[in-house]
Amino acid sequence: MKNILIISDGFLYGGFETRTLKELVEAKKHHYNIFLACIDYNQEENAFKQVLILKHPLSDYNDFIEIKDILATRDQIIDFCKKNRIDLIECHPYWCLLPATLAAEKLHIPTTCTLHGVTSGNFITPSPANIGLRTLYYLVFKYGFNQIIAVAEYLCKQYSYLSSNITITRNGINLTQKTRPRYSPRNGYFCIASRLDIPKTKLIEDFLPTLHALPEVYHIDIFGDGDQLGSLKSFIDQNRFNKISIKGWHKNLPQVFIDNHYTAIFGMGQVALEAFSSNTPVGILGYGGFAGLINKTKNLSYFMKNNFTDWKTYNIDLKKELQELKKNPNNYLLSYQEISKFDQSNIWNSHFKTEESLAHSEKPILNVLNHLLENHSNKDIDLKKFFSESDFPDTQSDTIYQLFLENIKNGLKANQVDKLKQSNVSKTAEINALKKEINDITNSGFWKTTKPLRKLLNKLH
């Protein structure tokens, strides 16, 4: 293996980009060439061997898709891979997964997919909304990759139904310097660092009033960039938060953390690791609220297994947490030995060893998808109808795929009922017949036996 192509929807500013640049550093030690293909790209970053800007494979996120866009993106990838002799494709969700796997199957090269968080699987639960698109992505996740990779244990558990062989490649940090700075905080100085997308910006906006109101908080720096930067600035201005300074994006956050001697840093994921490397306490901003400061004797193991985030609803007293930090700072600081498990060199050495062992294996479902899509190349298709009329190999015993199909059938029949109800012609017999069909499906043995599974999937997502 010599040439690796990373494919993602975008390459902007955030944890995924930080992770990828660390992979690139370690790949060069193994003499690999790393290429990037994506839709949105930060042109200031020139670290890759070459960058391919992709067409958007899906013009809209619903059950009606334009086949020509998917095939055009697939063919872009095929031509790029041939020209650069790509040996392996690493995929990152969402929209480019389908053309990437279709291209890899045409080229007979192995593919991997990395799950970064719960949202990585948002489109593979059998929910009625966009059920056709969800069915398509379920097939891609389930049958399109030689290896699925998770960044933490909770993802292995959550997506075990996709594969019995999900490996972990954690996010890592550079530990080449064993001498770490002494914790000497500027009292009252705090920092928040995050990608500024919609969900994370909302977390910050929910957290800021509490943090800003504390009298012991003198100043808050916010590092990050994204499409919600303007919205966050407006929020701060409207609330007259005069202790806050927005710094934007910075390439070397660990050094920024060291230089500014913050009392604590708030964020999630990669931010926590970067704070560890600067020997600064970390507070987790979870999706259910402030989840607490990381305490090595109480919750370090838990947060590590959850990639330093959380989804529980919390009501943790920030003031008490900061008081405890001031009394016992050593409980919130990690030794070199304790953070050595996040050494990026060891993490990526193991990752590349796994990838070296991968070889292409034929994926019949992708062959069928390539064939069917090529036969519809000049059409827009309704994915619900497409799947209800198509047969795919290896799916008869796939309980979850059959559940997707049952959802599709129910939806199609329900739509027929609505249309008949709205017509002026009396269609009582037809409506009753369709209602009976729907009732038969929902009372069938299959439907009943999969009820626990459906409840579990809906709970997970």
List beta partners, residue 3. 33
Query: Per-residue DSSP letters for 238-271?
Result: HTT-TTEEEEE--S-HHHHHHHHT-SEEEE-THH
Class of domain 3-172+349-369: alpha beta
Residue 332: name the closest of 180, 172, 152, 183 by CA. Answer: 183
> What is the spatial distance between Cα 41 and Cα 34, in angstroms, rounded to a whole number?
15
3-state secondary structure of 335: coil
CA distance 192 to 213: 15
Burial grade of 347 (CB within 10 A; 0-12, 13-18, 19 or more): buried
Of residues 225, 189, 186, the one with CA closest to residue 204: 225
In which region does residue 236 sit, left (phi positive, over 0), alpha (psi from -120 to 50) or beta (all else)? Answer: alpha
Is 3-172+349-369's fold the same as 189-337's? yes
CB atoms within 10 A of CB 176: 7
Contact (CB, 8 A) for 78 and 106 = yes
pLDDT tens digits for 295-320? 988 899 999 999 999 888 777 999 99
Q: Could you give the dihedral angle defined by the CA atoms of residues 112, 34, 98 and 146, in that order, rounded to the nearest 10 degrees?
A: -20
Q: What is the pLDDT of residues 162-207, one digit of tens each?
A: 887 899 999 998 887 767 789 999 999 999 999 898 889 999 999 9
Contact status, residue 37 vs residue 120, Cβ threshold 8 Å: no
Is residue 37 within 8 Å of residue 54, measured between CB atoms? yes
Rg (CA), the chain: 25
Q: Provide the sign of the torsion angle of the four alpha carbons 422, 423, 424, 425, taken in this order.
A: negative
β-bridge partners, 34: 4
Sign of CA dihedral 411, 416, 418, 419: positive
Q: Which residues contact 370 (CB under 8 A, 6 or more apart)?
A: 102, 105, 106
Burial 98-112 (b: 16+ CB within 10 A, else e): bbbbbbbbbbebbbb
> How, if at all, do strands 64-66 and 380-382 pair?
antiparallel
Contact 155, 120 (CB under 8 A): yes
Q: Alpha-carbon distance 401 to 379, whole Å?
A: 25
Q: Give the N- to C-terminal CA distance of the chain in Å, as an integer.
A: 36
**pTM given for the model:** 0.83
Using the structure block, give the residue that is written with the tokens 């030794």.
335
Residues 6+ apart with CB under 8 A from 141: 97, 113, 121, 124, 148, 159, 162
Q: Where are the domains of the chain?
A: 3-172+349-369, 189-337, 396-460
Taking 70 as the pLDDT cut, the residues of the chain under it are 43-45, 59-61, 121-128, 178, 411-461
Q: 97 in helix, strand or coil?
A: helix
Task: State the virtual CA torsion across 408, 414, 417, 418 in degrees, nearest 10.
Answer: -110
Q: Which of 404, 363, 435 is nearest to 134 (CA)?
A: 404
276 contacts 342 by C-beta, under 8 angstroms: yes
- Fold of domain 189-337: Rossmann fold (3.40.50)
CB atoms within 10 A of CB 164: 6
Concatenated DSSP letters of 186-243: -TTEEEEE---SHHHHHHHHHHHHHHHH-TT--EEEEE--STTHHHHHHHHHHTT-TT
